[in-house]
Amino acid sequence: MLDVAEGRTDHPGVLPIVQAGDPVLRRPAAPYTGQLGDVLPRLLGAMRRTMHAAPGVGLAAPQVGIGLAIAVCEDAGVPDDPRDRHPLPFRVLVNPRCAPVDDTPDVPFYEGCLSVAGWQAVVARHRRVRLTGQDEHGTALDEVLTGWPARIVQHETDHLHGRLYLDAAVPRSLTSNENLLRHFAGDPDPGRAAQELGFDLPGA
């Protein structure tokens, strides 16, 4: 088990993030049934600090080398963003599940991952999902999320099933973070990138 009190990086309390190619990211996480006991709050605190330091908006336990179905997420949001990026308050997801709640077409946007550092690609995801599971206290979660918060929880839930966002991405859309800014000015709408890079937008 990682020493969540000390961390393994130059920043106290911040954990190293496992990168693509490590088998832990490809194994379905074990359901959490209390295996960590009193260590759980320390792990969650370290995961939250690590997510903020990266920076990112979500982090799953396999991304810090722990194969348990636990994730954290938080996003301040971006006003008037075409991705419907409204705030997502900090929350802990334990044994989460996501399911679409209607037949709305999937929405394609560029997406990145702390475990695929430096790259982004277009992924189509459900715009609205029902999130179920528990929080860190064992309290049941059951809510509908829309827009970017829905994308975040789908991304983190994928991690807990051994999936990376690249598995569902449009390969031709892959770009470095630097090129996304250089050529497309970080535009949240992937339409111009689709024209310039020669790919069709999925789900649109």
- Select which of 136, 156, 178, 196 is catalytic: 156
Q: Look up the pTM and report it.
A: 0.92
Looking at residue 8, what is its pLDDT? 40
- What is the residue-wise DSSP string for 87-141? -EEEEEEEEEEEEE-S-PPPEEEEEE-TTSTTEEEEEEE-SEEEEEEE-TTS-EE
Annotated catalytic residue 136: no
What integer is the mean pLDDT of 178-187? 93
Mean pLDDT computed over every residue of the chain: 93
pLDDT digits (tens, 9 = 90+) for 14-28: 999 999 999 999 999
